Amino acid sequence: MAELVSAQMADSDVTLLLENQTRDRLTGGDITDVLPPGLNVIRAGRGGYLLKLAKLVRKGGFDVVHTHLGRASARATWLKRAGIWNGTPLVATLHTSYRARSYGVHDGLICIASWQQNTLPPQQKARSTLIPNWTVAPTRSPEEEAVLRRNLRQEWGLSDDCFVFGAVGRMVEEKDFSLLLKAWRLAALPENAVLLMIGDGPERPRLEEESKGTGRVIFTGFRTDMPDALAGLDAFVLPSRHEPFGLVLLEAMGAGLPVRAAASGGVLDILKNNPDCLVAPQNIQALSDGLHELYGCPRGAWDLSGFSLDQQIPKLDRFYRDLTR
């Protein structure tokens, strides 16, 4: 979001409406910590998000209203169905699945992955476009990269001769980190192989218990330095049962890591030109084989030209302009 509004501010006036409380209780992160200076940020206020949105829409002055995530989209939908709307085109970005209650009256829908667009009702599909998320590749010099890598390894208690696999995400059931631990045990990789589990969530205590006796598995907890922490890894694994997009996979590829990912959701778009990097979802043997294939692989550059911010912003501008004609 911060990268998006920063890019849009280059040639547009942008107002961002936020809830009163935006700090994540689990991670402590807050979007306001990374928003660009000069952005017009409005908090919901005492009356709540719905009332503030209604007031802003009635006041007018916007060419487009663009909602993100289900709650904001559902509130805008409620206002439009109630007749409390001034005709301003209403757009939403789908970050998960389509729900008519949240997106049924939007004038335009932006899908971040092909599977979303393929599952839209015909009327909504006709008003949709596909604009994937993006990643910004690191701009560090080789010397800076080496220092960062060394510092991360020291923090994790790992020597430079360790081959470090990484898995990143919220520790919930659909991410299938439990499957990864089973595949890791089955793979029985050489002693210098280490699995780093980066993230936190309700499944973490159970996962830590499952990892006992496996050896060479480290839980780092949530980190605020992603994707920079990827510099300490040698390979990346994404075992999710379903990944709406797979931004962390894209970031890992941006860092030059060799990857293996379960073939689901947006991952199929990201790796459509690299099918050998896909593994069958919820398949312990396939994931174990993937770990073996990754072991010892060197870093390398991926072609991520289809996932750059510079490419997506013009697509978004064209979509906006088509709606306002």
Residue 78 is predicted with a pLDDT of 95
Q: Are 199 and 190 in contact (CB under 8 A)?
A: no
The token duo for 280 is: 């069958």
Residue 283 is predicted with a pLDDT of 98
Distance CA(123)–CA(104), nearest Å, equals 9
Hey, how many other C-beta atoms are within 10 angstroms of the C-beta on 22? 14
Can you give the pLDDT of all 325 residues of the chain as single tens digits? 889 999 999 999 999 999 999 888 766 778 898 899 999 999 998 889 999 999 999 999 999 999 999 999 999 999 999 999 989 999 999 999 999 999 999 999 999 999 999 999 999 999 999 999 999 878 899 999 999 999 999 999 999 999 999 999 999 999 999 999 999 999 999 999 999 999 999 999 999 999 998 879 999 999 888 899 999 999 999 999 999 999 999 999 999 999 999 999 999 999 999 999 999 999 999 999 999 999 999 999 999 989 999 999 999 999 999 998 8
Residue 67 is predicted with a pLDDT of 97
Scanning the structure block, which residue is given the tokens 């604009």?
Answer: 131
* pTM for this prediction: 0.92
Scanning the structure block, which residue is given the tokens 């064209």?
Answer: 318
Long-range contacts of range 110-116, CB-CB < 8 Å, 24 or more positions apart?
A: 110/316, 110/319, 112/244, 112/245, 112/266, 113/244, 113/245, 113/265, 113/266, 113/268, 113/269, 114/266, 114/268, 114/269, 115/265, 115/266, 115/268, 116/244
Residue 207 is predicted with a pLDDT of 97
Q: In what order do the strands lie in the sheet with 108-111?
A: 65-68, 90-94, 108-111, 128-130
Concatenated DSSP letters of 116-139: HHHTS-HHHHHTEEE---------
Spell out the domains of the chain, with CATH numbers in brackets.
2-134+308-324 (3.40.50.2000), 142-303 (3.40.50.2000)
